[in-house]
Structure 1
């Protein structure tokens, strides 16, 4: 795998290494306020994932296993034998991949509104999803106006993240279709799950499912908080729970 250069920011000089991974469409600055609050007790590593912030995009369409491999390379380059991970949304997918493939390198994970499980749908929602998929597959076979029809379909039914993905659309499709259920069941590291109860992107039921999957996990749900529960004053709230969680871990 090509070693894409990473833009990073380190905070604090003491304590255990703590890697912070942002969500889709974000960059290291989204987690920086929380990193600054945690810098007194940990050696913080904020990372722009490839294709976001100031890190160049991967040379081909990556899945989260590729992203996890790049973070593993970063750990080696920094001489980090074992790290704590704090990750939001898609960063959670990458953390799960890393903790599953290299459990000896991950002391703990804090997942904030993490993605990685298939959304539960009602019968009507499932029918609508199947109909949208069938329509797109039909357009792909159309001998006339194929490109125009597919463009209309994407603009009509594509998610905001997909429409804004640009050169990363192929990567987005790979990432969003992954289901990490089996991997989560095999991760030995302690996991703290922080979830906003008003999250509509990765609903709180996903947090409860993750809690049932991870062998060693704690779930804390926060009222009146959405997918970006760590922003603004929420950074203090999340940092409080993370500090409490980290303090309980063996050194």
Structure 2
């Protein structure tokens, strides 16, 4: 396979008008990158992630939507209040962002934790959600081994931050680890070495502890409250969940579809950007069956 491994975040964003800014979301300074016009498309990264996870998608998607990518609560360069971040806190933060931006309804697209939280938000605030794309929504069945590996590697990457630990954490996300560029490692290293991040990371990883996670597992009691058209986007080499897990999730969410992206890991939006972008556009614009 011929691939361009010289992916540059800046080059991916070049040639379009975009802005980075901060909003006050109920007292939490929140970093946002925005581009394009039209219906709002909110994009949410995974645990320990940040805006740059969507660098390969903003340009194309901004031709069709008002793309808004944010650093979630406690992540990236967003504020890091000192309390455990569960789906309730992430959901409240997203609601505060929408209100700060005066957005009454949006398409939500979340990867890993971002997908899990987007679904939770859609069950609590269905009136705000026009469509829901769950991108490798992350350890669907709460596999304890996956939880431990993710928690340990995330803590190590922050508390013992260096090129090797950060790269190892990023490589976990990829099927083809050649996509883990020096720039991507440096971007995450810079975020992880913020002085306040060493404290925040303990609040970030709480959902990898079963005592906390058990209150937010995928169950019909809340998934059945999701009313937005939903697309579950799974990859065939996701290290956190299987295609069978995704098929199970499909049975839990009304009006949901399932698509599989081949030859990708936990970040199909980065490894397969053209395919991901087309799926996102087709689904959010059509709110209909997506052809694979």
Q: Which range, TM-score by smaller chain? A: 0.7 to 0.9
Say if 2:56 is the partner of 1:33. yes
SS of 2:241's partner is coil
Cα distance change on mapping 1:244 and 1:162 into 2, 3 Å? same
- Separation (CA, whole Å) in 2 of partners of 1:157 and 1:46: 23
- Separation (CA, whole Å) in 1 of partners of 2:282 and 2:151: 40
What's 1:148 paired with?
none
What's 1:160 paired with?
153
Larger Rg: 1
What's 1:207 paired with?
246
SS of 2:254's partner is coil
Q: Paired residues, what number?
A: 217
Cα distance change on mapping 1:164 and 1:180 into 2, 3 Å? farther
Say if 2:29 is the partner of 1:5. yes
What's 1:99 paired with?
122
What's 1:181 paired with?
219
Cα distance change on mapping 1:157 and 1:114 into 2, 3 Å? closer
CA contact (8 A) 2:150 2:208 kept: no
Shift, 1:77, TM fit: 1.1
SS of 2:217's partner is coil
Shift, 1:92, TM fit: 1.0
CA contact (8 A) 1:61 1:171 kept: yes
Shift, 1:29, TM fit: 1.0
- Separation (CA, whole Å) in 2 of partners of 1:33 and 1:157: 24
Root mean square deviation, CA, Å: 2.5
Shift, 1:163, TM fit: 3.7
SS of 1:219's partner is strand
- Separation (CA, whole Å) in 1 of partners of 2:35 and 2:76: 18
Shift, 1:162, TM fit: 4.2
Could you state the TM-score of these two structures normalised by the residue count of structure 2? Answer: 0.68
Unaligned runs of 5+ in 1: 130-153
CA contact (8 A) 2:151 2:208 kept: no
